[in-house]
Structure formats: structure tokens, C-alpha cells
Amino acid sequence: MKQFTAIVKARTMEFVRDRGTFFWNLIFPFVLVIGFSFAFSGNNDELFKVGLIGEIPAGLESEFFSLDQIDFIDYSEEGTEEREELVEKVRQHQLDMLVDFSTGKYFLNQQSPNADVLRVLLLQRSIGVSEFSTLTGLSEQEVTGEDIRYVDWLVPGVIGMNMLFSCLFGVGFVIVRYRKNGVLKRIKATPVTPLMFISAQMASRFIIVIITSVVVFVGTNLFLGFTMKGSYFNLLLITALAILCMISLGLIFAARIKSEELASGLMNLVTFPMIIFSGVFFSLEGMPKLMQTFSKIFPLTHFVEGARDIMLEGAGLTAILPNVLSLAGMTILFLGIASLVFNWD
Amino acid sequence: MKTILEARKLSKSYGQLLAVDAVDLAIEEGICFGLLGPNGAGKTTTIEMLEGILTPNAGEILFRGKPIDRQFKKKVGIQFQSTSLPEFITVKETLELFRAFYPEPRDMDELIDICSLSDILKQDNRKLSGGQRQRMLLALAIIPNPEIVFLDEPTTGLDPQARRNFWDLIKKIKAERKTILLTTHYMEEAELLCDKIAIMDKGVMVECDTPAKLLEKHFDGALVKVPHQRNAKLKSGDSKIVGDMLEIQTETLHDTLHELIHANIDMTGLSIHKPNLEDLFIKLTGSSLRS
């Protein structure tokens, strides 16, 4: 235990005293979140987004459904569960309207400024079409919900991305450097075991990353006031789990590689697709199903999904359980691989 | 004297290269054992196998008569040829870190005192000079209060002043009756510190004994050098022309000098040299040490 705490202390001091890295870890995500919030602050969408479920029944084919200003998205393929989520999208202003022909309901968000416009458009452009001239066959369902700004949606992604960099490079890169310059060899000559050394490195990085993530979250929240519907405990839980998982992934790179250039190249090779396909900056919704399934192999995807569900939808532990279990499973897998492959030299 | 560390038929190869070839050696307790050899002779490979850092391809290593095991690490102190220290932490913090690795570490004040570290305790590891760094690495090596200390070229690259200071530290550790295994490039270092030396070349042990016995075995008498004037035929000794000097290897110094006077040779620039380890080294390995 004495060995463990001594290594954790030394490694943490090394991080804190390395001013450049220290501030980069804090300032980079901060700048990114603030920057994005400005860049996407104006809602420049000229189109209304209306979701449709089921075929438009004969007699209802009004001019409304062929308006160029409206982006109609056909969700007919979705199952019942997904349809529930579509209503959620209306609630979060991601969809302006949802028309479900199968149940004869359409949904509008009271708090959305677009709702009134759409309602008027619907009435006007449907005049004289048929006996159901004004969608009379359908009943309006009102939902309410505050607008989810892009930045609310973005922040878990940016924090997740920062965690990924910090975990992968902070563990992977540093241990490779230790191996190259002989620090590992020096420690190998002491009674410290690889397991002890590695777990101390993990612990130090874990403390560092969880503190920086909390600081970045709280710091940007002061300026931007994020939507937070779920529990902070759950958010912290999934964050902690994701950090462990990403550190374990970093350890695989750290296990054997001797060159910093190779390590950094391989880590970039993994981080870039992960950032693109984990839905950090844009939603995976529009992507092919195969791609969405593929994205599940990345720990970042599970963190981003889980954190977004907690923050934006107030998801509880059971709702994010698949993400939690995936992260836990991957952590064990990565740790197992790393410990099998690890070599001091 | 009791043997503390013994190697039998130790071999190690890297790919095609046979770095160490069936080396035997036995180190007695309490002595300073010098491992000498030109660059690439296999010194570092040998010492690292003895430290338990490298696994030999063949042969065995016995510590107090038993094969080395995990416990061995707690009983040895190691100073590698090149080690980076953790960055951004001070000398004192580094000592504390390494002290935490051992069950019964040496007292902090004692370490500071033996290795003369009091002036640099608060210095960042990255800002140490060559000599300070070696002192610090030596301190790390003696933290476990080891029974045997391995020092791999500890003074290479140091200036003459720093080197002499470092020798004083080694003498202090020697005075504690600790066994020391030292590799070096410097013959004067070996001459001053080592009780016994082994000379390696091309992975093979060439000689192993006390410096005095080795000199006695390989050289007789003295080496007389005079500036070469004409090829003087001398009856005593073995003469040859090296550069612009006439070198006479002689067992009977008195006769040789007498002959030189009789031959009317100008004695200006005459030197009489007792063969030292450097001469022995060049004789045995055929190459200059620092080449």
C-alpha cells in the first residue's frame, strides 16, 4: 500500500507541475464548449422538421405535405418503442411536429415557436382538399418541453472527448515514454510488481481525469446553464466508469510499445474514428443502421449516450443500464488484454 | 572469503549476435569487483543478467549459493548506465518515492549524508548536472541497504572533479563492507577502487584476478622508453620501436640502463614506467579503452 500511494502521489505531482499539460487539459474543453455554443447559438434552420408515421391516407394528401419549407422525415419503419422516443424529440424541439397516421394523432410542442406557425400552415394549406379538409380526422396532442440547445447536447460529448484524450495519452503515452527512457527499467529493479505499478498509474490518472471533468462541467455550466434533468450521482457514476474504461484502453497501448511515435500514431488511429462515430459533434440518427451498431464498440459512444440520456431526458440507472454494463464489460476486457500483453522492457 | 555471487557459463545473445559467451565468475563478499572491457564487450549485458534484469539464454546465477529469486531484488542496489528519473519531482521526493518501494529502507538523512545530496534536495530531477545525477542515482541504489551494489559505468561522462568526488562516495560504501560490482572504462578508476578485476572482450572473459597478480602475470619488470636515435642493440630486455620512441621491456632494469649509458644514447626524455592496468588492457584486448 505504501508503494501504491507513493507512485500515485509522484505521478499526480508530475501532472500538476507540468503546467502546459495541466492547463491544456482544463482549457481545451472549456474553449471548445464555449466556442461551439457561440457558433451554433442562432437557430438557422429554415425548414421545419415534421416526422411522419405511416402512409398518408387517401383524402389527406393536402398541399401541406408537399411544402418545400418542411423537411418530412418518414419514421414508418420504426417500432413502437422508437415511436415513443419520437414524441420525446418533439418535446426537445428536435422535431417540430410529429404526425402519426396509424393512431390518428399529431404532436406539437406548446413551447416551440414553430408550433403555432405549423398549425396555421396546416389549416391554410389543407383547405378544400377533401371532406377532411383540415386534418379533422386527426386529434392534436400537445406536448411541452424546453428547447434543448445544441450546446446542451454537445457538452457530454466534448467532456467525453477530453476524457478520452487524457486517459489514452496520459496513460498510454506516458508509460511508453517511461519504457523508452528507462524509468520502467529502474522500477523493475525494485520490489514493485507490474500490477502495483500499473494500478497506481491508473489511480493517479483516474483522480486527475475525474477532477478535470467535474471542473470543466461546473465551469462551463456557470456560463451556459446546461439542461440537467437526471441525477448528478448517475452522471458521476457513468463518468467514472467511462474514465476507467478509457484508461484500460490506454493501457493496451502502453503494454508493449517502445516508441512514442508509434504509440501516438496508433492512439490517433483509434481516437479519431471514435470521436467521429461516437456522436460527439453530430447525431448518429441519420447514419446507416450498420454504422450505428458499429459505433457501439467504442466506449465513448456509451458514455455520450448515457450522459445525454441522464442530462437531457432525466434517464435513471435502469434506462442507462445497457451503457453501464457495456462500459464495465469493456473495462474488464481491456484490463485483461493489457495485463496479458504487458512487458516492462 | 565467502562467495556472494557466482555466474556459471552465462550466455546471452541478441538475434545473431552472441553478446556474452559462457562467462564464469565468482565475486567474494565485501570486495569491489571491476568488470572492464572495451565498448561492446558485453559488460552491461553481463551485469544486467547478474542483477536479474535480463534473463540469460544459458547458464545460472547463484546468490549465496542459491539461484536468484524474487527476494533477490530486495537485497541488491542497482545503478544503471542510463536512467531517466520521473520528471517534475525533486531529488527529495524521488528519494521518498523509492524509499516507499522497500520494506526497510535506509534512513533519509543517512542517504543524504553518504551521497552528499543536501545542496540539491529541492532541485527538480530535470535540472541536475551530470555529477549530481550520478550521486542521486547512487543514493537510489543504496536505499534498500543492499548486500551487493551494481554500478554500471557510474562515472562515464563526468568531469575529472566530479569523477573524483564520486570515487569518494564509492569508497564510503566500500567502507561499509558492501560488495560492489563496478563496470568502467577508466583504468585508474579500476586501479583505485577494485580489489579484483575481470577483463572482457567480445563477450568472452579474458582474465580475472587481482590487479597486482594480473600485472605480475603479464608484465615483467619495467618499461623503459627513450626517444629513438638509432637502432640500439641491447642484450637485456625486449626492445622495439614504437613511433619515435624506443621501448624496452626489461626484467633487469639496472642492466638495461647500464647498457643505454654505454651505448652513448642521449638520455634526455627517458622515462621508466611500471606497467599499469591500461597497458594490461591494451595488451589483452588489443584496443585502446576509450576508442
Name beta bridge partners: B26: B6
Q: Across chain B, what does the average pLDDT equal?
A: 87
Residue A290 lies in a domain: yes
Same domain, A258 and A164: yes
Is the CB of B86 less than 8 angstroms away from the CB of A183? Answer: yes
pLDDT of residue B111 exceeding 80, the answer is: yes
Same domain, A213 and A125: no
Q: Say which range, A10-14, A110-114, A139-143, B278-282, has the weakest mean pLDDT.
A: A139-143
Residue A197 lies in a domain: yes
pLDDT of residue B245 exceeding 50, the answer is: yes
B88 touches A at CB < 8 Å: yes
Number of Cβ within 10 Å of residue B247's Cβ equals: 18
Cβ(A206)–Cβ(A247) under 8 Å? yes
- Report the C-alpha gap between B88 and A14 in whole angstroms: 5
Among candidates B76, B89, B102 on the partner chain, residue whose Cβ is nearest the Cβ of A14: B89
Q: Say which range, A67-76, B39-48, B77-86, has the weakest mean pLDDT.
A: A67-76
Same domain, A57 and A203: no
B73 touches A at CB < 8 Å: yes
Cβ(A158)–Cβ(A123) under 8 Å? no
Residue A301 C-alpha cell reads as: 459512444
Same domain, A174 and A270: yes
β-bridge pairing B66-67 and B58-63: antiparallel
Cβ(B49)–Cβ(B5) under 8 Å? no
Instruction: Phi first, then psi: give them for residue B97, nearest 5 degrees.
Output: -60, -50
Is the CB of B83 less than 8 angstroms away from the CB of A6? Answer: no
The contact set of A with B (CB < 8 A) is: 2-3, 5-7, 9-11, 13-14, 17-18, 178, 181-183, 185-192
- Reduce the DSSP state of residue B94 to 3 states and report it: helix
Q: What angle do CA A317, A322, A324 make, to 5 degrees?
A: 60
Is the CB of B93 less than 8 angstroms away from the CB of A13? Answer: yes
- Helices A232-254 and A321-341 cross at an angle (nearest 10°) of 20
Same domain, A138 and A13: no
Average pLDDT over residues A242-249: 95
Min Cα separation A15/chain B (Å): 8
Residue A249 lies in a domain: yes
Is the CB of B88 less than 8 angstroms away from the CB of A181? Answer: no
Question: If you search the block for the grid coordinates 652513448, which residue do you land on?
Answer: B264
R_g over Cα of chain B: 22
Is the CB of B73 less than 8 angstroms away from the CB of A3? Answer: no
Question: If you search the block for the grid coordinates 624496452, which residue do you land on?
Answer: B248
- Report the C-alpha gap between B276 and B254 in whole angstroms: 20
SS (H, E, C) chain A: CHHHHHHHHHHHHHHHHCHHHHHHHHHHHHHHHHHHHHHCCCCCCCCEEEEEECCCCCCCCCHHHHCCCEEEEECCCCCHHHHHHHHHHHHCCCCCEEEECCCCEEEEECCCHHHHHHHHHHHHHCCCCCCCCCCCCCEEEEECCCCCCHHHHHHHHHHHHHHHHHHHHHHHHHHHHHHHHCHHHHHHCCCCCHHHHHHHHHHHHHHHHHHHHHHHHHHHHHHHCCCCCCCHHHHHHHHHHHHHHHHHHHHHHHCCCCCHHHHHHHHHHHHHHHHHHCCCCCCCCCCCHHHHHHHHHCHHHHHHHHHHHHHHHCCCCCCCHHHHHHHHHHHHHHHHHHHHHCCCC
- pTM exceeding the 0.80 threshold for the entire prediction: no
Residue A288 lies in a domain: yes
* Length of chain B counted residue by residue: 291
Tens digits of per-residue pLDDT, B194-242? 999 999 988 999 889 998 888 888 887 888 888 876 656 677 777 777 7
Walk across the sheet containing B17-28 and list its strands: B17-28, B3-14, B58-63, B66-67
What's the maximum distance between 2 C-alpha atoms anywhere in chain A? 89
pLDDT score for A283: 78
pLDDT of residue B4 exceeding 70, the answer is: yes
CA B117 from chain centre, in angstroms, equals: 24
Name beta bridge partners: A269: none
Same domain, A32 and A120: no
pLDDT of residue A81 exceeding 80, the answer is: no
Tens digits of per-residue pLDDT, A47-58? 677 888 887 777
Residue B269 C-alpha cell reads as: 626524455
pLDDT score for A55: 78
A241: closest CA among A148, A132, A160?
A160
Residues 6+ apart with CB under 8 A from B222: B250, B253, B272, B273, B274, B275
Residue A284 C-alpha cell reads as: 448518429
Min Cα separation B71/chain A (Å): 8
- Reduce the DSSP state of residue B251 to 3 states and report it: coil
Same domain, A204 and A266: yes
Same domain, A10 and A121: no
Residue A230, domain extent: 2-38+149-341
Name every chain A residue with its beta carbon within 8 A of the beta carbon of B97: 6-7, 9-10
Is the CB of A191 less than 8 angstroms away from the CB of B74? Answer: yes
- Report the C-alpha gap between B35 and B180 in whole angstroms: 11
Same domain, A166 and A59: no
At B108, is the pLDDT very low, low, confident or very high (cuts 50, 70, 90)? very high
B126 touches A at CB < 8 Å: no
Q: Name the CATH architecture for the domain at B3-216.
A: 3-Layer(aba) Sandwich (3.40)
Residue that terminates a domain, selected from A93, A111, A143: A143
- Residue span(s) of chain B under CATH 3.40.50.300 come to 3-216
Same domain, A212 and A286: yes
β-bridge pairing B76-79 and B148-152: parallel
pLDDT score for B9: 93
Residue that terminates a domain, selected from A82, A116, A143: A143
Tens digits of per-residue pLDDT, A201-211? 999 999 999 99
Residue A173 C-alpha cell reads as: 503515452
User: Testing the interface with B: which of A16, A190, A192 to mutate, by most B Cβ within 10 A?
Assistant: A190
- Report the C-alpha gap between A239 and A159 in whole angstroms: 9
pLDDT score for A286: 67
Considering only residues 32 to 61 of chain B, which have any Cβ-Cβ distance to chain A shorter than 8 Å? 51, 53
Same domain, A184 and A330: yes
Q: Count how many domains chain A has.
A: 2
B83: closest CA among A109, A214, A187?
A187
Please name the helix (run of DSSP H) or strand (run of DSSP E) that holds residue B11, with its range, or none.
Answer: strand B3-14
Cα–Cα distances (Å) from B38 to A144, B24, B206, B273, in that order, read 84, 19, 12, 23
Tell me the DSSP string of B137-157. Answer: HHHHHHTT--SEEEEESTTTT
Residue A43 lies in a domain: no
B63: closest CA among B93, B29, B36?
B29
Cβ(A230)–Cβ(A313) under 8 Å? yes
Count of pairs with CB atoms under 8 A, one residue in A, one in B: 66
User: Testing the interface with A: which of B48, B97, B137 to mutate, by most A Cβ within 10 A?
Assistant: B97
- Report the C-alpha gap between A250 and A175 in whole angstroms: 10
Same domain, A250 and A153: yes
